[in-house]
Structure 1
Amino acid sequence: GCNFKWIWRAKIPLKIQFFLWQLFQDSVLTRDVMNRRGWLGRPVCSFCDEREIS
C-alpha cells in the first residue's frame, strides 16, 4: 500500500490531514466514487439539472 506518513507529518490542521487520508483511500463519497461502487443515482446535476457525463 501507499505510505501516508507525509500526510501525518505535514504542518496542517488535523481535520485536513484526516480528510486527505480519506480522499486517498476513496472513502469520501463523491459521485465518482459512488459510481465506481455501483450506485446508479440521479444522472443529472443537483445544481443545474443538466445531464452529467460519467
Structure 2
Amino acid sequence: GPSYKMIWKATIPLKIKIFLWQLFQNVVPTRDNMRRRNWPGNPMCSFCTNVETA
C-alpha cells in the first residue's frame, strides 16, 4: 500500500522501518496477538487495565 512506500523511503534507521512495517501488518507480539497463538498469560495491559493491542 501507499503507507508502506512512505515507511521505506523515510530517512530513519532500518530497524525502525521494519518495526513500523510490522506494526501496520499487526504482527507485533502484543498480548492480544499472543493470545491468538494460545499464549497462557494475562492479556491486560500492565499500565492501564485494558486489553493490550497494537
Give the shorter-chain TM-score range: 0.5 to 0.7
Runs of 4+, deviation exceeding 4 Å: 43-46
Question: Would you tell me which structure has more helix in proportion to its own residues?
Answer: 2
Deviation at 1:31, TM superposition (A): 1.2
Ranges in structure 2 where 5+ consecutive residues have no aligned partner: none
Ranges in structure 1 where 5+ consecutive residues have no aligned partner: none
Structure with greater contact order relative to length (CA < 8 Å, sep ≥ 6): 2
TM-score, normalising length: structure 2: 0.61
Identity of aligned residues (%): 54
How many residues are matched? 48
The 3 A distance-change label for structure 1 pair 31 and 10 is same
Question: Which protein is bigger by CA-based radius of gyration?
Answer: 1
When the two chains are superposed, the root-mean-square deviation of aligned CA atoms in Å is: 2.6
After superposition, residues 36-51 of structure 1 pair within 5 angstroms as 37=36, 39=38, 41-43=41-43
SS in 1 for 2:29: coil
